[in-house]
């Protein structure tokens, strides 16, 4: 199926959901991903113009004790730096999202237009993965900046066609929305086009993440 | 001396004409999810008969359908478009299936 059509279909069906995962697109590919958990969910689809640039849509919902955010945005992703070594890869990315967010606090409910940049740094080898990302998101007089730190190891090396299992610890906190940092031990499975994760945070809430590249 | 040089040139040219398999050492190729772009791009090229991606040793081998070498600039573009860098491209005598068998994978 034509990649443009796939992208459009994803755009049409993604009307009710959920920040960016590590971008791993290659030129002319479409990548779709979703995450579902008790307090946070998102759906995203993007098209890679090149291995350095992609654009797409992202719809997300983020719930805390008193706040609930629902946002939909168009985003542009630019790779600012990549260092390819024989056994490692290091990246610095800039996401720029623009869209509308609904902020609900108790019975108060407001919509805001927003522009939100995210800077992400990641480093990986065949056995080690690490990522740190900082999103700036200010709407009205409120600060909804999100910080993510992730790190993990693979149990063993695999061949190109085998499924590679990983264990990671993910941490995430959105200011104003989250009263504490969320820690989520996560299992990751990578098999070529398919990238899946299953995690349970320290409160016992499960989360699922799936990514596929067409 | 001239004959010797001619012989060397002929040898060099014939290597390029009749070689079928090229081995590409790739920098940054650390995960299958990311490297799939290389395989997809080479596989979709009708001039390429077979592709083998070896993550363990960071290389890709391709075999042309017509027995001629694939242009190195083209190879470099494919690898770069997938997000990686090329360290070295060389012609090898084994076929892709022989290399696949040698590394006991896939």
The answer to whether the CB atoms of A160 and B55 lie below 8 A apart is yes
ipTM of the complex: 0.74
Please report which helix (H) or strand (E) contains residue B7, including its range: helix B2-18
User: Which 8-state DSSP code applies to residue B38?
Assistant: H
Chain B: residue nearest A189 by CA?
A: B33
Task: Tell me which of A43 and B36 has the higher pLDDT.
Answer: A43
Question: Which residues does chain A have within 8 Å of residue B39's beta carbon, measured at their own beta carbons?
Answer: 160, 192
Tell how strand A182-191 and strand A138-139 pair up. unpaired
Is A193:A212 a contact under the CB 8 Å cutoff? yes
Q: How distant is the Cα of B98 from the closest Cα of chain A, in angstroms?
A: 16
Within 8 A of A89 by CB-CB distance, chain B residues are 28, 30, 34
Least CB-CB distance to B28: which of A25, A29, A89? Answer: A89
Residue A12: predicted pLDDT: 41
Q: What is the strand order of the sheet B48-54 is part of? A: B48-54, B59-64, B21-27, B85-92
Interval B19-31 mean pLDDT: 89
Low-confidence residues in chain A, pLDDT < 50: 7-22
Across the A:B interface, residue pairs with CB atoms under 8 Å apart total 93
| CB-CB under 8 Å, A213 with B33 | yes
Three-state SS at B42: helix
Contacts of B106 in chain A (CB under 8 A): 159-161
Predicted pLDDT at A21: 44
Confidence category of residue B19, pLDDT binned at 50, 70, 90:
very low
Q: How far is residue B71 from each of residues A110, B7, B63, B79, B90, measured CA to CA in Å?
A: 58, 24, 12, 13, 12
Phi, psi of A5 (to 5 degrees): -65, -40
pLDDT for A66 equals 87
The CA distances from residue B39 to A161, B19, B56, in Å, are 11, 20, 15
Crossing angle between the packed helical segments B32-43 and B72-81, to the nearest 10 degrees: 140
Interface contact flag, B83 A161, Cβ < 8 Å = no
Q: What is the pLDDT of residues A138-189, one digit of tens each?
A: 998 899 999 999 999 999 988 888 899 999 999 999 998 888 899 999 999 9
Can you tell me the distance from the alpha carbon of A128 to that of A155, in angstroms, rounded to the nearest whole number? 10
Contact A145, A118 (CB under 8 A): no
Q: B17 or A68: whose pLDDT is higher?
A: A68
CATH code that applies to domain A3-213: 2.40.160.40
Give Cα separations from A157 to A91, A154, A169, B82 (angstroms). Answer: 21, 7, 19, 21
Q: Is the pLDDT of residue B73 over 80?
A: yes
Alpha-carbon distance of A21 to A38, in angstroms, equals 18
**Residues of chain B with C-beta less than 8 angstroms from the C-beta of A21:** none
Q: What is the CATH number of domain B19-102?
A: 3.30.70.100
């Amino acid at each position: 199926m034509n990649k443009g059509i796939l992208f459009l279909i994803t755009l049409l069906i993604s009307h009710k959901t959920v920040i960016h995962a590590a971008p791993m697109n290659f030129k002319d590919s479409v990548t779709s991903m979703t995450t579902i958990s008790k307090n946070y969910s998102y759906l995203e689809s993007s098209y890679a113009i090149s291995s350095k640039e992609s654009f797409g849509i992202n719809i997300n919902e983020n719930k805390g004790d008193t706040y609930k955010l629902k946002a939909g945005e168009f985003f542009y992703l630019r790779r600012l730096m990549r260092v390819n070594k024989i056994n490692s890869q290091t990246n610095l990315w800039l996401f720029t999202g623009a869209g509308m967010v609904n902020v609900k606090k108790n019975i108060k409910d407001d919509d805001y237009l927003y522009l939100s940049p995210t800077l992400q740094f990641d480093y990986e080898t065949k056995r080690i993965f690490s990522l740190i990302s900082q999103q700036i998101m200010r709407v009205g007089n409120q600060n909804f900046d999100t910080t993510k730190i992730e790190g993990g190891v693979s149990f063993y090396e695999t061949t190109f066609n085998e499924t590679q299992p990983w264990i990671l610890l993910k941490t995430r906190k959105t200011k104003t929305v989250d009263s504490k940092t969320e820690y989520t031990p996560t299992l990751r499975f990578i098999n070529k086009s398919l990238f899946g994760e299953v995690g349970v945070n320290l409160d016992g809430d499960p989360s699922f993440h799936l990514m596929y590249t067409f | 001396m001239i004959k010797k040089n001619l012989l060397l040139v002929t040898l060099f040219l014939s290597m390029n004409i009749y070689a079928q398999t090229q081995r590409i050492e790739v920098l940054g190729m650390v995960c299958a999810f990311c490297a799939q772009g290389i395989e997809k791009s080479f596989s979709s090229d009708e001039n390429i008969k077979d592709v083998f991606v070896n993550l363990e040793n960071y290389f890709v081998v391709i075999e042309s359908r017509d027995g001629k070498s694939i242009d190195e600039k083209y190879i470099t573009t494919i690898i770069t478009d997938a997000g990686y860098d090329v360290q070295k491209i060389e012609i090898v005598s084994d076929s892709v299936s022989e290399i696949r068998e040698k590394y006991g994978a896939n």
